[in-house]
Amino acid sequence: MAQSLLLVLLGGAVLRISLLSTTYLNYVKPGFRPFLVAAGLVVFVLGAVGLFQEWRGKASAGHSHGPGVAWLLGLPVFAIFLIAPPALGAFAARSEEAPARPPAVALDAYGPLASGQVTDMPLSEFIGRAWGDSGRSLAGRPVRLTGFVVPSKKKDRWYVARIQIACCAADGIPLKVAVLDADRPPENTWVEVTGTWIDPELEELPQGTVAPELTATSVTVIPAPVEPYE
């Protein structure tokens, strides 16, 4: 009975975070939702069938008791209901030794940016343009970046960051852009940072070795997005 109940609880937990809420986005990409729902349903049904068969067997053969310690197997499942871990945040991106992620597209594949207006841009694209675009398309173009706040050991800066995942949080890689000339909001606060790229003016840009820098003109605190990862 303990095994079947564990399956029911586990299947219910998966359905709760994937079918009845968006909590699953803290752990996987949106495209995995159908697979989570299907897996949750299968596990739940298997557990329910096991409980029903156990109940029928006890009704016809009398009551029996298994080892009480077996119920401890349910503790991890209850933990999912009560204390589900949040999405990766500032703690996962604190290291200043980790390099920024190199651009995921071919060099010079980025198009020109519109002049005279602020461009909303993912951090991955900003980093790619900063270190992988010899045409320096970011130069003089205001952009708006969205991410969470990560402190820096250097007093003149802090980072706006976001975790990039391929499929799930286990393969997450922190993307960080150094923010200058702006007061730092509290750690892990989600913000929109508007500013302009600081061109290092190097003949060969150090692709993906350090975080690119941004001179901020405004920093706006925002609610955490439903989908926290890039």
pLDDT in tens, 46-63: 989 988 888 887 766 655
Q: Taking a C-beta distance cutoff of 8 angstroms, is the pair 186, 151 a contact?
A: no
- Rounded to whole angstroms, the Cα distance separating 24 from 84 reads 10
Q: How many CB atoms lie within 10 A of CB 46?
A: 16
3 φ/ψ angles, rounded to the nearest 5 degrees: -65, -45
Q: Taking a C-beta distance cutoff of 8 angstroms, is the pair 105, 123 a contact?
A: no
By C-alpha distance, which of 190, 189, 5, 162 is closest to 88? 162
pLDDT in tens, 172-194: 889 999 999 999 999 999 999 99
Domains of the chain, first to last:
2-82 (no CATH), 90-221 (2.40.50.140)
The strand pair at 119-120 and 142-151 is best described as parallel
- DSSP characters over 61-75: H------GGGGGGGH
Percent helix / strand / coil, the chain, rounded to 5: 35, 20, 45
Whether pLDDT at 79 is above 80? no
For the chain, the distance separating the N- and C-terminal CA atoms, rounded to the nearest angstrom, is 42
Q: Taking a C-beta distance cutoff of 8 angstroms, is the pair 150, 176 a contact?
A: yes
Share of the chain above pLDDT 90, in %: 39
What pLDDT does residue 57 have? 76
Give me the mean pLDDT over the 142-158 stretch. Answer: 94
